[in-house]
Amino acid sequence: MGSVETTKKPHAVLVPYPSQGHVTPLMRLAKLLHAKGFHVTFVNTEFNHKRLIRSKGPESVKGFDDFRFETIPDGMPPSDKDATQDVPRLCDSVRKNCLVPFKELLIKLISSSEVPPVSCVISDGVMSFSIKAAEDLGIPEVQFWTASACSFIGYLHYRELIRRGIFPFKNDDYLTDGTLDKPVDWICGMSNVKFKDLPSFLRTTDPNHIMFDFMGEEAQNCLKAPAIIFNAFDEFEKEALEAVISKFNFPNIYTIGPLKLLARHIIPESQVNSLNSSLWKPDSKVFEWLDQKAPNSVVYQQFLWIVRPDVVQGGESAMLPEDFLEEIQDRGFLISWCAQEKVLEHSAVGVFLTHCGWNSMMETICAGVPVIYWPFFADQQTNCHYSCEKWGIGMEINHDVKRDEVAELVRKMIVGEEGEKMRFNAKEWKKKAEEATEVGGSSYINFDKFINGALHYQG
């Protein structure tokens, strides 16, 4: 795959949704494009720009001559908290307030003699205001759906759920009357699913619920773009990807993941750790602790627990008994943030307990590590279903959490036959992910097509 000619650098403007799980894959893509000869403008919200500076220092947003950071306001009240903003309010504010400042930024970049002409916009799939801005200015635009393709299919059916009179639910009885366990056999691209396996934002009794409307409409808006890219590989999400093409008559999709593995062949080793997008400062002491542990042992007698600062106020010791840290000192380790993908690659890690977000799913596949799932919201329930039923790499915790049940589940995953089978499956998926991202693999070829096709589409 040849580099883009540097004498006339194409200029890509990337705009992620302002939370860590979206900034991370957009930054990976930005670095891949930069390595291929693109001038990159990475657009954070003013709030997240300040968080990056607090996390990594002013140098973290200086970039290079051909990789620059810009900001737009998100329309939310000013705040200096190092925390993820209120999700429903942020989503509502973004779609109402970001179009004008983003379009003004594009006009500024177009008019600047210091950067190449803007040749494309790559937007987070839930920042669809960028489609309108790019269209008004005659700039090619591509959507990057940063979650799973299977969840994308779920959201694309939100209008059909309304049309059938299913959603919104009439009252809260659906939580206990068995409704969530009823099969849904009419969604193209999602076989053997139940209502509980659909993205959680589709569960509501409020017809005006922000997230119910926001996610459904943003998914629909993606179909207005010339192309959509996914951080996945063809074999992993084959059923959902084929449904996007056939049911929604949208052939212009590019599977270019896992982005982490694709980067092996494109980003120079000297630049792999540059331009870190973490909004929290990782604690490197975790690796000193892991180095002392036996292979495949952690999360059994030994465990590593990441307690993110904005999830539990007061730090990693908040809401825990005073003697807890003393009690676990020989078998547990608590920190506030870590370089997760590097932790998963450590030989001591035997099982990954996760909420099942898509970044975590791709990182555990890249590491070949089996999973215990405890999904929380959004696409996590869908990812959990596919991981357990189709990919065969993990088990789900009963949400009515009981100590003995969790202990038995962990035991099965670490030393049981079921866990051994899932560990085998995880390693097999890792091999397939590596094959897809090797030179000549499907994701590698798709990235080439994406650069040479979608980013030069003129509509």
Helix-strand-coil split of the chain, %, nearest 5? 45, 15, 40
Other CB atoms within a 10 A radius of the CB of residue 56 amount to 17
Q: Distances from the Cα of 247 to the Cαs of 157, 158, 187, in angstroms?
A: 11, 14, 10
Catalytic choice (49, 74, 124, 379) = 124
Classify residue 358 by its DSSP letter.
Answer: H
Using CA atoms, how far apart are residues 29 and 433, in angstroms rounded to an integer?
A: 17
Using CA atoms, how far apart are residues 377 and 84, in angstroms rounded to an integer?
A: 15
Using CA atoms, how far apart are residues 286 and 457, in angstroms rounded to an integer?
A: 45
Catalytic choice (11, 22, 157, 346) = 22
Instruction: Let me know if 124 is a catalytic residue.
Output: yes
The answer to whether 341 and 363 are in contact (CB under 8 A) is yes
Half-sphere exposure of 78 (CA within 13 A, CB side): 0
For tokens 């773009």, what's the residue? 225
Classify residue 200 by its DSSP letter.
Answer: G
Nearest by Cα to 219 from 210, 228, 206: 228
The answer to whether 391 and 236 are in contact (CB under 8 A) is yes
* ∠ CA 396-400-406, rounded to 5°: 55
Residues labelled as active-site residues: 22, 124
